[in-house]
Homo-oligomer: A and B are copies of this chain.
Amino acid sequence: MKTSIEDVARRAQVSISTVSRVINRRELVNERTRRRVESAIAELGYRPNMFARGLMLQKSDMLGLVLPDIHGEFYSEIIRGAHARARETGYHLVVSSSDGADDTQRLLADLTRRAIIDGLAIFLTERTPALLEAIDQARIPCAILDANLEQQRYDAVTIDHRAGALALMRHLVDDCGARRIVFIGGPAGNADTIARREAYEDVIRTELTWRPDDVYHLDYQYETAYPFALERAQSWAGPGHAVFAANDEMASGVVDAAAALGLRVPHDLAVVGFDDIRIARMTRPPLTTVRVPMFGMGAAAIELLSQRVAEPQRPPVRILLTPELIVRRSSGAPLDAETLSR
């Protein structure tokens, strides 16, 4: 049988008020009484009922995290970051992933109605009106991840994809002496791909020669990039020639294809990727890439949320995270000792 605060009170010969105080504000109760209550608690193995407690406090110490997908290193890093910060701030984390925009909406509804959470961090990949509506319907604090929402109504964490891509282009041009750069993006409509391609174009148009045929759009997959590069890498190769793939998987496919064709990376063809996932260190040579701070993103979202729970009325805050250029050997820049160890 469950023991309640009343059982403890009876056993310790005090009122339930006192037991409650021992649990929550121990400084308010006399030391002798406190010890009596504490041993009663221990003897009975009593644990406060969190439902009742929450009913009074309207607080569960749980935060939600909604991702479009849990697949892959990307999202698991977000979870890691979110979880780490959540634990630091005394929260537990309810993780959920959806399957397309419609499903996100359902999930949001379900989470905000049926789950007992104090706030919700939402990773948005699409921005349908219905989705925004669903977020508005949430009666709890929300933080938005990675979507450049025009409206400033919510706390948000965004990655500066453009700055990352720019750093990578600068590296290719300035440090590696690239004269021709082939761009391999993900789907043409993909927001990240767009940001990266824009940076690419900016640099190409102002400093090199714009060649429309050097821009391709694949699907972010190794399996697609490998045969694709096998067909073309020969024609991409040359002194000062490079490939900028919009993610590490495709870059890895290009590196492997080049090797299969007998090309030397980076000597005959430099290759750079994006994201800095695990495999970036597992190509030969290791990939120069841009590290997208997914861990930091998850952590920042939880941080914002916990701050908002503490101070519901403050104006929305936006955090902009900048990716970091990671120079390895695939780009052909001179490397110092410290960098080599990576």
A71 to B249, CA, bound (A): 18
What are the residues of chain B within 8 A of A49 when measuring CB–CB?
A: 55
Bound Cα distance A48, B116 (Å): 11
Q: Is the CB of B54 within 8 A of A83?
A: no
Q: What is the copy number of this chain in the assembly?
A: 2
In the complex where A260-B284, A282-B222, A284-B260 touch, is A95 in contact with B83 (Cβ < 8 A)?
A: yes
Chain A binding surface, main DSSP class? helix
Task: Let me know if A268 is at the binding interface, CB within 8 A.
Answer: no
B116 touches A51 (CB 8 A): yes
Complex: chain B residue closest to A65, CB-CB: B95
Number of residues from A at the complex interface, CB < 8 A: 48
Q: Say how far A253's CB is from chain B's closest CB, in angstroms.
A: 8
Cβ-closest 5 pairs across A and B: A76-B76, A51-B54, A51-B55, A95-B95, A70-B80
Chain A contacts to B: CB under 8 angstroms:
47-52, 54-55, 58, 60-62, 70-73, 75-76, 79-80, 83, 87, 92-97, 111-116, 139, 222-223, 249, 252-253, 256, 259-260, 278-279, 281-282, 284
Given contacts A70-B83, A71-B76, A279-B282, 14 further A-B contacts (CB under 8 A): A48-B113, A51-B52, A51-B58, A55-B55, A60-B116, A61-B114, A62-B94, A62-B116, A70-B79, A71-B80, A72-B76, A73-B73, A73-B76, A278-B279
A-B residue pairs in contact (CB < 8 Å), sample of 16 = A50-B115, A51-B51, A51-B52, A60-B116, A62-B94, A62-B116, A70-B76, A70-B83, A72-B278, A87-B96, A92-B94, A92-B96, A92-B115, A94-B94, A252-B282, A279-B279
